[in-house]
């Protein structure tokens, strides 16, 4: 291997440069720069907000849900104590109402966003994605509204 340093691996550049100091080459935007021509879905920071929401709601849900499991399934006889009277006793306190309300909203939004990701990953046809997400969002809104209504309108003397 005799290396001739006078020869480089790069061949001569063909032609003459069109640009010089007085006439610089046009600047090319970085690939992901947001411009007026970017698709609507890429204009905002929704995916970043969703990513952050999953982590923040996740931490809060660890506390809320594990507390909920302890109360409902472990302490004081576990599941066998649960009944209308037990629910009435707990929702008599605003503390547990807020606890359950927060848990409902955070868990539903966390789960809905998770399922949105799963649909985006596996449903490839645009129409399939549209239908599955439509179903998901409908079920999510319905469940959150129903749960919220139940917590706020609960009546211990219903009968």
Partner 1 sequence: MPAGTLYRGREGMWSWVAHRVTGVLIFFFLFVHVLDTALVRVSPEAYDEVVATYKTPIVALLEYGLVAAILFHALNGLRVIAVDFWAKGPRYQKQMLWAVMSIWIVLMAGAVYPVLGHAARELFGS
Which residues of this chain interact with partner 1, rule CB under 8 A?
55, 58-59, 61-62, 65-66, 69, 73-75, 77-80, 82-85, 87, 104, 107-108, 111-112, 114-115, 118, 139, 143, 146-147, 149-150, 153-155, 158-159
Give whichever of 2 and 80 is closer to partner 1, judged by the CB atom. Answer: 80
Q: Is 61 within 8 Å of 110 (Cβ atoms)?
A: yes
Cβ 39 to partner 1 shortest distance, Å = 27
* Calpha distance 110→123 (Å, rounded): 20
Whether the CB-CB separation of 108 and 143 falls below 8 Å is answered with yes
Beta bridge partners of residue 23, listed in sequence order: 20
Q: How far is the CB of 46 from partner 1 (least distance, A)?
A: 18
In the bound state with partner 1, the residue whose beta carbon lies nearer, of 42 and 73, is: 73
Cβ-proximal residues to 29 (8 Å cutoff; 6+ apart), any chain: 35
Name which of 137 and 154 has its Cβ closer to partner 1: 154
Neighbours of 99 (CB within 10 A): 17
Please report how close the Cβ of residue 37 comes to partner 1 at its closest, in angstroms.
32
We find the least distance from the C-beta atom of residue 114 to partner 1, in angstroms, to be: 5
Task: Please name the residue that has the structure tokens 């004081």.
Answer: 76
């Amino acid at each position: 291997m005799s290396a001739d340093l006078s020869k480089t691996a790069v061949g001569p550049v063909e032609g003459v440069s069109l640009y010089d100091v007085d006439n610089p080459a046009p600047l090319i935007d970085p690939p992901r720069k947001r411009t007026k021509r970017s698709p609507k879905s890429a204009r905002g920071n929704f995916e970043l907000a969703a990513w952050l929401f999953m982590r923040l709601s996740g931490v809060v849900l660890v506390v809320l849900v594990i507390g909920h499991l302890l109360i409902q399934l472990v302490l004081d006889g576990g599941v066998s104590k649960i009944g209308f009277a037990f629910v009435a006793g707990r929702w008599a306190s605003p503390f547990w109402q807020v606890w359950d309300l927060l848990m409902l909203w955070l868990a539903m939004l966390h789960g809905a966003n998770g399922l949105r990701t799963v649909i985006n990953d596996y449903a490839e046809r645009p129409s399939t994605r549209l239908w599955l997400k439509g179903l998901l969002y409908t079920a999510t809104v319905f469940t959150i509204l129903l749960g919220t209504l139940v917590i706020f309108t609960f009546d211990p003397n219903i009968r």
